[in-house]
Structure 1
Amino acid sequence: MERIIEEIREDLSRRIAVAADRLTDRTLAEDPAYAALLGRAELRERIHHALRQAVEGLLRSSRGLPVELADARAVGALRAEQGLPLTSLLRTYRRGGRLLWQSLTEAVTAHDRAALPRLLPGATALWDVLDQMTDAVTESYRRAEAARGDRDREHRAALLDVLLDGGVGPSAAAAAAAAAAAAAGEVSAAEAAAALLGLPERGRFTVVVLAADASGAPVVPVVPAGTGAPAGGTGAASAPRVLWRIRADGEIGLVELGHHPLESVRELLAPLGVRAGVGPVVAAPADVARAHRLAALALRTSPESEGPRTALLDERLPAALVAAEAELAGRLRQVVLGPVLALPAQDRRTLLTTLGTWLACQGSTTDAAQRLYCHRNTVSNRLRRLEQLTGRSLSDPRQVVELALAHAAVLQRVEAEPATRPAVPDPRASRTPGGTARRSPRRRA
């Protein structure tokens, strides 16, 4: 094989140059990805070089030497960084292999037709060389593509942090990058980050904060941060776009609501079966950090004892006020419900559960009794005792507000002290608003 190639080397070189021209023109005409990426001169040079490398590989193989693959690996990594589809790259290599074999046979025929049979064993060797080259290109491409994907995800996650944190904390580096972009375009860091994430300058946004999973496993589908995906992974085009950010301390979603109402977030999160807090609607990227803080506050108003639910801040403002002021919440618990909290554990739990259920039933003793599976008079007696202990009347709206806020403060304190909480209740038991679980004596539909 080496002797044949040496005999036709000059003619083969001319034919390879012609083949490079043909393949370049065909590639630019039929593959828009290449046409958008490279000019004719550069593409032709790369194709010509690859064809000559294949011939050199065939010669090395015939001498028992390994094929040089460094150039093929470099091309694979470069095209991955440039974003050229791997299918385009491999298609050009395959076409180049066919043209090279055609050039070889034509050169041998022109030199000595009788030598053609001596060329045939070289077909297997040539295709082995081409397979090694395409394998090297593919491996290098995929490795570079994975590394680029990791960098892109980290970059987009950092940009999302700029919006969620307001450019402080762990996203400081990304904030600096966004600030540089902001300086060039005379926009804020948040606006620059939003633009890089494909978000509009004005719109309707909110933030979702999910309760941490005990196992530490992500609750939302693992998608690149900054990519739009409906919660639950349904891919429904009509759902609001969510940019998920998974952090060590929990999961956060920036929701681009568009024309959807805020309440649609409940449907969006329902398949996940988790507790979540939802902030208010904001109109600009610069306000996303505020929505994030308030979403975290909304989550704190939803005790774990209530089970999976989505807490909208605007529906839980009184409890949010309590959660926002830990010192005042402690004082509220002590001043309003101190005598109740001083009772033995069973009595304390009974009265607090009854109060929570009565509040959830909008002050209906009858409904509270049904939910607690006891007689109406029992509920009345418990509430009367509560009034006596606290010195507050359930017929006075202002004092009912105090009791409701103090009750919320108690629930939030229990939630913040996991060591004091009872064991996880039986999931078959019905939950009461007071935070306890009672087995239902009736089958539920």
Structure 2
Amino acid sequence: MERIIEEIREDLDRRLAVAAERLADRGPAEDPACAAYAALLGRAPLRERIGDIFRQAVEAVVRGARGLPPDLADARAEGALRAGQGLPLTSLLGIYRLCGRVLWQALTEAVAAHDRAALPGLLPGAPALWEAVDRLADAAAESYRRAESAHGARERELTAALLDALLDGSGPPEEAARSAERLGLPERGRFAVVALGPGGTTGTGTAPGAGPGSGAPPRLLWRIRATGEVCLVDLGHHALESVRDLLAPLGVRAGVSPVVTAPVELAGAHRLAVLALRTAVAEGPRTALLDERLAAALVAADPELASRLRRVVLGPVLALPPEDRRVLLNTLGTWLTCQGSTTYAAQRLYCHRNTVSNRLRRLEQLTGRSLSDPAHVVELALAHTAVVQRPATAAPPPPSSPSPPAAAPPARTPAGTARRLPRPRE
């Protein structure tokens, strides 16, 4: 192959120059790879690029015949350059394949013009030519992928930095506006923030699926942190409740902020999402929307006050043996869920209504609070929420303030007649 090429080199170079001109003129209309290159470079640079590939392939064949490796530096530079310019990889590889076909055609024509009898001797060299073209294309593709990967990493780092600026709110309002613009977020819109608990992950860092309703789903921008993942949701016209459907397939605990309308409000929404996450207890909804759990959020917002609430209101109950404690707390929680109905609570607990009433009476006696007093019910409900958010694993120490009496006096009705049991709804 080397000897044949050397004999026809001048004629071959002339034919390849003509072929490069023809491909630059007609190729964009006939070949997708040429069309993509022409749109990116223009006609003259495309002609030069095709000529360079011809030259590199011929030199690679000659070097191979001499036992030398091909020079791949130009192919690697081409791959990195086109990756940065956004040329599709298929177009990059396509131009090498096209040049390989045209080069073989020009080579056979030059050999036939020089000595037709030498054509059979050209055939054994065909694999060497295609190997040379393939190695050039592989080197360009490898460099392209490395450059694309590095570019993608930089883009991810930039996106993470922009999200941090929005979610942390450490900069001035104009910085939030600039970050939102670079992320492609509207100046005014409907946004929410989702916080996933530690160990929770989307697995891909991208949108887990399409939301309900017609049109495009909400846009999700994920940020992975040591404490868990955070997601900025560009809701568009979708309802906030659609976020629950988006997160359902992930099977993780999540807190969702209320809707905000400007990027500068996203830092506050992030804090509320984290607070909502703290209300998403194991036995409750996996996705907690803050506006649906405001009372629980009040408890979660101040851990020190929540701890005191547990001790002062439910301290005597928490001091009971574990099984007694579990029964009374479970009964109270079920009664609250059933809106104060002992009948419905008994059905859920699979016991008699009188059993529920007896347990509630004992709870009143231990806590000194009456379930017929709305203020006392609020205290018990909040204290129960504090226990659920942070279950007691051992009997707590006595509260520092005076404890309520072990057995509270019977509650008095406005008429002055005593009754021993609360009168919850039936």
Where does residue 432 of structure 1 map in the other structure? Answer: none
Structure 1 contact 34–88 (Cα < 8 Å) conserved: yes
Where does residue 412 of structure 1 map in the other structure? Answer: 389
Where does residue 184 of structure 2 map in the other structure? Answer: 198
Where does residue 221 of structure 2 map in the other structure? Answer: 243
Of residues 99, 103, 111, the one that matches 1:100 is: 103
Q: What TM-score, normalized by structure 1, do the two folds share?
A: 0.81
- Letter of the 1:403 counterpart: L
Q: Is the alpha carbon distance of 1:230 and 1:125 closer, same or farther for their aligned partners in structure 2, counting shifts above 3 Å? A: closer
Of residues 358, 365, 368, the one that matches 1:391 is: 368
Where does residue 189 of structure 1 map in the other structure? Answer: 175
Matched, 1:298 2:304: no
In 2, the alpha carbon distance for the partners of 1:93 and 1:284 equals 49
Where does residue 256 of structure 2 map in the other structure? Answer: 278
Partner secondary structure for residue 194 of structure 2: strand
Structure 2 contact 299–305 (Cα < 8 Å) conserved: yes
The alpha-carbon deviation at position 232 of structure 1 amounts to: 7.7
Partner secondary structure for residue 224 of structure 2: strand
The alpha-carbon deviation at position 267 of structure 1 amounts to: 2.0
- Letter of the 2:382 counterpart: L
Per-residue CA distance 1:157-186 (angstroms, 9 max, x = gap): 332222222247xxxxxxxxxx9xxxxxxx
- Letter of the 1:138 counterpart: A
Structure 1 contact 220–231 (Cα < 8 Å) conserved: no
* Residue ranges of structure 1 left out of the alignment (5+ in a row): 169-178, 180-186, 422-445
The alpha-carbon deviation at position 46 of structure 1 amounts to: 2.0
* Residue ranges of structure 2 left out of the alignment (5+ in a row): 396-426
Q: Which has the larger radius of gyration?
A: 2
In 1, the alpha carbon distance for the partners of 2:63 and 2:13 equals 17
Where does residue 346 of structure 2 map in the other structure? Answer: 369
Where does residue 328 of structure 2 map in the other structure? Answer: 351
The alpha-carbon deviation at position 244 of structure 1 amounts to: 2.4
Partner secondary structure for residue 90 of structure 1: helix
Structure 1 contact 58–125 (Cα < 8 Å) conserved: yes
The alpha-carbon deviation at position 231 of structure 1 amounts to: 4.1
Where does residue 222 of structure 1 map in the other structure? Answer: 204
The alpha-carbon deviation at position 312 of structure 1 amounts to: 1.0
The alpha-carbon deviation at position 358 of structure 1 amounts to: 0.9
Where does residue 240 of structure 2 map in the other structure? Answer: 262
Where does residue 418 of structure 2 map in the other structure? Answer: none
Q: Is the alpha carbon distance of 1:33 and 1:237 closer, same or farther for their aligned partners in structure 2, counting shifts above 3 Å? A: farther
The alpha-carbon deviation at position 151 of structure 1 amounts to: 2.7
- Letter of the 1:361 counterpart: C
Where does residue 76 of structure 1 map in the other structure? Answer: 79
Per-residue CA distance 1:367-401 (angstroms, 9 max, x = gap): 11111111111111121222222222211112211
Where does residue 25 of structure 1 map in the other structure? Answer: 25
In 2, the alpha carbon distance for the partners of 1:83 and 1:108 equals 39
- Letter of the 1:37 counterpart: L
Structure 1 contact 221–232 (Cα < 8 Å) conserved: no
Quote the RMSD (CA, aligned, Å): 2.6
In 1, the alpha carbon distance for the partners of 2:271 and 2:21 equals 61
- Letter of the 1:356 counterpart: G
In 2, the alpha carbon distance for the partners of 1:370 and 1:160 equals 48
Structure 1 contact 337–390 (Cα < 8 Å) conserved: yes
Structure 1 contact 167–190 (Cα < 8 Å) conserved: no
Where does residue 59 of structure 2 map in the other structure? Answer: 56
- Letter of the 1:12 counterpart: L
Q: What TM-score, normalized by structure 2, do the two folds share?
A: 0.84
Q: Is the alpha carbon distance of 1:272 and 1:121 closer, same or farther for their aligned partners in structure 2, counting shifts above 3 Å? A: closer
Of residues 109, 113, 117, the one that matches 1:110 is: 113
Equivalences for 1:125-204 in 2 at 5 Å? 125-167=128-170, 188-204=174-190
Partner secondary structure for residue 311 of structure 1: strand
The alpha-carbon deviation at position 148 of structure 1 amounts to: 2.5
Where does residue 330 of structure 1 map in the other structure? Answer: 307
Where does residue 212 of structure 1 map in the other structure? Answer: 198
